[in-house]
């Protein structure tokens, strides 16, 4: 764990535009982010895994390593993730590439990228994720903002709805967790 914190801090200083959190996510946030995975089927994709706080929780929920694909743009984090999580697919690619991975019927996307407040990124990441997600799949997003990271207007455009899973106070900073699913007509 100390090595992960050291790696995180080093990368935060070297690549401040890539590492936008001020500390790795807590185990409490990881548990909240990964709720429901034990009942999911199909591939699971984690975007922005960083040093693997959520990855550990995903695997603890019973997701087999071969079902899990990590999309991380920081090459140093990718090396550490590949070392720490054997059997998991680690790709040095942006979240926007999710449609191009050859995965279909994705059961869940766990997003540790707290920058989804921009509409274009929401279309490119969340919209594309739902293009390859199973009908019952869900997208879980962490945010440090007081409201949903995806506006109601964008939810309507993407055909999804938000469920606020809760606030995790035991995190630096306190985090809110939202789950997004397809609108049912």
pLDDT above 90 (res 12): no
Q: Residue 119 — pLDDT band, cuts 50, 70, 90?
A: confident
What pLDDT, on a 0 to 100 scale, did the predictor assign at position 124? Answer: 92
pLDDT per residue as tens digits for the range 160-169: 999 999 999 9
Q: Residue 16 — pLDDT band, cuts 50, 70, 90?
A: very low
What pLDDT, on a 0 to 100 scale, did the predictor assign at position 116? Answer: 62
Say which residue the tokens 């764990």 belong to.
1
Q: Residue 26 — pLDDT band, cuts 50, 70, 90?
A: confident
What pLDDT, on a 0 to 100 scale, did the predictor assign at position 24? Answer: 65
Say which residue the tokens 């801090």 belong to.
9
pLDDT per residue as tens digits for the range 126-181: 999 999 999 999 999 999 888 999 989 999 999 999 999 999 998 888 999 999 99
Q: Mean pLDDT, to the nearest integer, of 73-85?
A: 96
Q: What is the CA radius of gyration of the chain?
A: 15
* Domains of the chain with CATH codes: 2-182 (3.40.50.150)
DSSP string, 88-102: SEEE---GGGGGGSS
Residue 12: phi, psi to the nearest 5? -65, -40
């Amino acid at each position: 764990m100390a090595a992960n914190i050291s790696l995180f801090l080093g990368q935060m200083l070297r690549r401040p535009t890539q590492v936008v959190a001020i500390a790795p996510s807590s185990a409490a946030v990881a548990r909240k982010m990964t709720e429901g995975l034990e009942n999911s089927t199909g591939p699971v994709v984690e975007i922005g895994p960083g040093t693997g706080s959520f990855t550990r929780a995903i695997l603890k929920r019973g997701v087999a390593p071969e079902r899990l694909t990590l999309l991380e743009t920081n090459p140093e984090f990718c090396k550490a993730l590949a070392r720490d999580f054997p059997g998991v697919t680690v790709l040095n690619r942006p979240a926007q590439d999710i449609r191009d991975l050859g995965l279909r019927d994705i059961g869940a996307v766990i997003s540790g990228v707290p920058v989804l407040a921009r509409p274009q990124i929401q279309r490119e990441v969340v919209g594309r994720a739902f293009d390859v997600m199973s009908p019952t799949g869900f997208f879980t997003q962490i945010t440090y903002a007081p409201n949903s990271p995806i506006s109601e207007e964008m939810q309507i455009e993407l055909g999804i709805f938000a469920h606020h899973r809760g606030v995790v106070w035991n995190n630096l900073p306190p985090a809110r967790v939202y789950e997004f699913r397809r609108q049912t007509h």
